Amino acid sequence: MSKTTPNIDFSAYEKERAAHHEARCRVAATMLLTPYFACRIRKCRRDGKCTGPAIPSERQMGHVRAQQALGLSGRACVNLPLCIILGDDRLFAAFQAEIKRISEMREGRPLKGVHFDRAVKARTWTLAAVVPAP
């Protein structure tokens, strides 16, 4: 009698893992102050945090292979912020150390990124403020 392994759908797990990985990478990039000295994206500098694109990186191939060995697709940990990808090896080493420090600090607690509302909340203008009196 042969045993078959059950076909398990990991898509929900991988989606949650990808969101966690992206949040952790953005927090680490922000704590390294990359929006101020390494990032060329204007929105990141304006917000004071990492909000740029996260794209697949060759530097994450070790993590991808580890996830694939576990039967996952590896797409959950392949993305890094663009400023980290384009940075030098010294910046990437500092980024990895910051990721490790965040993981140790946040052990057992969920990681949530800071959300900025980019809508301008202006006060309502009265007609008297816009049109001069006759």
Domain regions of the chain by residue span: 11-112
List, in sequence order, the alpha helices (H) in the chain: 11-31, 34-37, 42-47, 61-69, 82-86, 89-105, 127-130
On the 0-12 / 13-18 / 19+ scale of CB atoms within 10 A, 10 is middle
Task: Quickly state the pLDDT bin for 111 (edges 50, 70, 90).
Answer: low
Predicted pLDDT at 93: 94
Q: What is the pLDDT of residues 4-56, one digit of tens each?
A: 666 777 788 888 888 888 988 999 999 988 878 888 888 888 888 888 888 99
Q: What is the pLDDT of residues 90-99, one digit of tens each?
A: 999 999 999 9
Q: What is the pLDDT of residues 61-85, one digit of tens each?
A: 888 898 888 888 888 888 999 989 9
Coil vs helix vs strand at 119:
coil
Residue 123 has pLDDT above 80, yes or no: no
Looking up tokens 């590896």 gives 74
